[in-house]
Chains A and B, each alone.
Chain A
Amino acid sequence: MDPIHQFQITNLFPIGKIGNAEIAFTNSAAFMLVAVVGLTLFLVVGTAGGKEVPTRLQSAAELTYEFVANMLRSTAGHEGMRFFPFVFTIFMFVLTLNMLGLIPYGFTVTSHVIITATLALMVFFTVLGYGLIRHGFHFFNLFVPKGVPIYILPMIVAIEILSFISRPISHSVRLFANMLAGHIALKVFAGFIILLGGALGAIGWVGGVLPFAMIVALTALELLVAFLQAYVFAILTCIYLNDAIHPGH
């Protein structure tokens, strides 16, 4: 009945200790492992044949490649393709975790901000690191727009830097909040059925059809959101990488 219960982390078995903190294999880690193993199998088995006329599995694997490659090319240009493995991994990982979360009794790894923040920070530091390596300190000119009067320049630079720093926050919060809110809404509506049945008896169970219909609709919406958020996460990664790659026009 507790709509938050589904997000509880449980230790499956302990692995070891770092300092005083116990490191355990949790249900979250288990789902991540399932996602990684499943994805690897999907792509390895899918591309193993390499037939001219693809099988269904190969076709699906090729579709995912084309999809991500087109997304990356259209946002970061041809040079962005060197980040293809990175973007592809992020997109498929997030998408699989989102989808796994929709399976009943499943656990939504991406509904924990620590996971999405780690991914977003990874992107953030990749952009920062690559930009600095490629353009040196010239990269910081990103924060100094040309043609701004000198007396408001300090404020503009501060705003630009804050805007840059706020990227991983909005990047991670978007994915995490969407998954969290959607799954809570599902559980709350499911709870209504039980409450109605318990309070009103037979009439309540009949009335429970209404929240049940709502759950069906919400599940379909969640399926859309699961894909959309993975897509948005990946395309923002591309947009941020574009900043690091392209020095200007």
Chain B
Amino acid sequence: MPDDARGKGNRKDPPNDEAVLSARLQRLGERLATANRPSENDSGPRPSADASAFARGFRLSTELVGGVIAGAVIGWLLDRWLGTTPWGLIVFVLLGFAAGVLNVMRAAGVARERRLND
């Protein structure tokens, strides 16, 4: 046990001994480092952390709006390029709404996050 060794060392040597002091400092540093560092094993991702209810609420609302806007813009652009007015807009706004709902569910942790290989 390193603690026992340190105890004996302290009794034998005077407490102002430089070598003992620096050795203890080093041990303390190592213990602090292992205590502060998150363990190497859990390097995987975790569910999204949340700041507060306020930030969470705002996040959810923008997720929904973002999906609808993305759908609307893509539908409108497709209509312009392909001349399919108004079908692209109609279809993609609906898909965008679905994407927005999916975003909200993911952000709220209800739906599973997308993953490769699963």
Contact = CB atoms under 8 A, between A and B. Distances in A.
Contacts of B66: 166-167, 169-171, 173
Nearest to A243: B114
Contact of A75 (B42, B48, B62): B48
B20 interface: no
B58 interface: yes
Given A138-B116, A242-B45, A78 B40 contact: yes
B114 A162 contact: no
A75 B103 contact: no
A196 to B, nearest CB: 30
A62 interface: no
B104 to A, nearest CB: 10
Interface residues of A, number: 45
A74 B46 contact: yes
A204 to B, nearest CB: 33
B116 A135 contact: yes
Given A159-B99, A228-B51, A170 B62 contact: yes
Contacts of B63: 166, 170
A158 B95 contact: yes
Given A159-B102, A163-B99, A74 B51 contact: no
Nearest to B52: A228
Contacts of B49: 71, 74-75, 235
B116 A166 contact: no
- Of the candidates B59, B74, B102, B115, the one having the most CB atoms from chain A within 10 angstroms of its own CB is B115
B90 interface: no
Nearest to B118: A248
Interface string A170-193: 110110011000000000000000
Given A228-B55, A235-B51, A239-B48, A166 B114 contact: no
Contacts of A79: 43
A159 B117 contact: no
Contacts of A170: 59, 62-63, 65-67, 103
A167 B66 CA distance: 7
B41 to A, nearest CB: 10
Given A166-B69, A166-B70, A174 B59 contact: yes
Given A162-B95, A232-B59, A235-B51, A146 B103 contact: no
B48 A235 contact: yes
A159 B70 contact: no
The 4 closest A-B pairs by CB, nearest first: A170-B66, A248-B117, A166-B70, A162-B99
12 contacts: A74-B49, A76-B45, A77-B43, A162-B67, A162-B92, A166-B67, A169-B65, A173-B65, A228-B52, A232-B51, A247-B117, A249-B115
Given A139-B116, A170-B66, A249-B118, 5 more contacts: A159-B95, A162-B70, A166-B100, A166-B103, A232-B58
